Amino acid sequence: MTCTQFDMLMDTQDIPSLSGDMAAHADSCPSCAAQAAAYFAALALYRLPELASSRDLTPRISALLPFLPAPRRLVAMRDWLAAGVLLLISMVLVPLLAEFRLLNASYGNGYTVPMALVLGISVTIYAGIFIVSHQEQLARLLRNTLSAR
Ligand SMILES: [Zn+2]
pLDDT (0 to 100) of residue 143: 92
Distances in Å between the alpha carbon of 50 and those of 47, 54, 55, 56, 66?
Answer: 8, 6, 10, 11, 18
Percent of the chain whose pLDDT exceeds 70: 95
Mean pLDDT of the chain: 84
Residue 136 lies in a domain: yes
Domain count, the chain: 2
Question: For residue 39, how far is its CA from the centre of ligand 1 (angstroms)?
Answer: 14
60 and 98 assigned to the same domain = no
Residues listed for the chain: 149
127 and 81 assigned to the same domain = yes
Question: For residue 14, how far is its CA from the centre of ligand 1 (angstroms)?
Answer: 19
What is the number of alpha carbons within 13 Å of residue 52 lying toward its C-beta?
8
Segment 140-144 long-range contacts (CB within 8 Å, at least 24 positions apart): 140/3, 140/31, 143/29, 144/2, 144/3
Q: Positive or negative, the Cα torsion across 101, 103, 106, 111?
A: negative
Q: What is the mean pLDDT of residues 118-132?
A: 91
pLDDT (0 to 100) of residue 28: 93
Residue in 31, 13, 26, 134 with CA at minimum distance from that of residue 79: 134
Question: For residue 62, how far is its CA from the centre of ligand 1 (angstroms)?
Answer: 27
Confidence of residue 70 (pLDDT cuts 50, 70, 90): low
Q: How far apart are the C-alpha atoms of 68 and 42, rounded to whole Å?
A: 9
Question: For residue 133, how far is its CA from the centre of ligand 1 (angstroms)?
Answer: 19
Question: For residue 1, how far is its CA from the centre of ligand 1 (angstroms)?
Answer: 8
Please identify, among 31, 47, 67, the residue that sits at the C-terminal boundary of a domain. Answer: 67
Distances in Å between the alpha carbon of 124 and those of 74, 83, 109?
Answer: 19, 14, 23
pTM passes above 0.85: no
61 and 112 assigned to the same domain = no
Domain that holds residue 34: 3-67
137 and 91 assigned to the same domain = yes
Residue 72 lies in a domain: no
pLDDT (0 to 100) of residue 126: 92
